[in-house]
C-alpha cells in the first residue's frame, strides 16, 4: 500500500507520522519529526526495540539533529528511569545519536540528551530508530520522541 501524503500549512502528514517545517532566526530552516513509541494508554516496555523508526527522505538529506525531547503520556513512571536511545543505521552499521532518560524529578518529559556530534548528520536513506532501553519499576503509559533537525 502506498503512503499517502498531504500538505497542511507547513506540516506534512505521511502515513500517520507528522513532520513540520520551521524557520530559525539565523535564517536556516529546521524540520521537526516525532515518533510515537507507545500510545497514551499503553504501558511502556522494552518489547518493541527496532519497531519505531523512519527513513530519512531526500528533503532532509544533510540535516543535523540539534535537539530532542522525550515525553510520557498519562502516568509518569515510579522507581528508576525510562531511557530512550536514538540510533542511526547507515550502510548496515548502527551508530548512537543520543540516549535520554526520564527520571522521577522530571515533569512528564526530558530533553537532557547529549547529542553525539559525530553522528548528528542524517542522509537520505538513513534509518532513524527510537528504542526503549530502560523502564521505571512501575512503567509510565505512552511515550513519544520529538526531534529537531536543521
* 83-127 pLDDT tens trace: 999 999 999 999 999 989 888 666 688 888 889 999 999 999 999
**Alpha-carbon span 86 to 111, nearest angstrom:** 13
Is the pLDDT at 27 greater than 60? The verdict is: no
Mean pLDDT, residues 130-139: 90
**Grid coordinates in use for 45?**
516496555
Is the pLDDT at 77 greater than 80? The verdict is: yes
- Burial grade of 68 (CB within 10 A; 0-12, 13-18, 19 or more): buried
Is the pLDDT at 1 greater than 60? The verdict is: no
Strand partners, 100: 84
Mean pLDDT, residues 1-29: 38
Name the CATH topology of 34-143.
Jelly Rolls (2.60.120)
Q: What is the pLDDT of residue 148?
A: 92
Asked whether 102 and 81 are in contact (CB, 8 A), the reply is yes
Is the pLDDT at 55 greater than 90? The verdict is: yes
Amino acid at each position: 500500500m502506498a503512503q499517502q501524503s498531504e500538505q497542511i500549512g507547513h506540516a506534512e502528514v505521511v502515513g500517520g507520522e507528522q513532520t513540520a517545517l520551521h524557520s530559525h532566526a539565523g535564517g536556516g530552516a529546521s524540520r521537526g519529526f516525532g515518533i510515537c513509541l507507545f500510545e497514551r494508554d499503553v504501558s511502556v516496555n522494552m518489547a518493541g526495540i527496532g519497531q519505531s523508526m523512519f527513513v530519512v527522505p531526500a528533503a532532509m538529506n544533510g540535516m543535523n539533529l540539534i535537539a530532542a525531547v522525550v515525553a510520557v503520556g498519562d502516568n509518569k513512571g515510579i522507581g528508576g528511569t525510562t531511557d530512550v536511545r536514538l540510533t542511526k543505521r547507515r550502510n548496515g552499521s548502527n551508530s548512537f545519536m543520543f540516549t535520554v532518560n526520564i527520571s522521577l524529578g522530571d515533569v512528564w518529559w526530558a530533553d537532557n540528551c547529549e547529542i553525539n556530534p559525530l553522528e548528528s548528520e542524517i542522509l537520505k536513506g538513513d534509518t532513524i530508530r527510537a528504542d526503549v532501553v530502560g523502564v521505571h519499576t512501575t512503567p509510565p503509559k505512552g511515550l513519544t520522541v520529538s526531534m529537531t533537525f536543521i
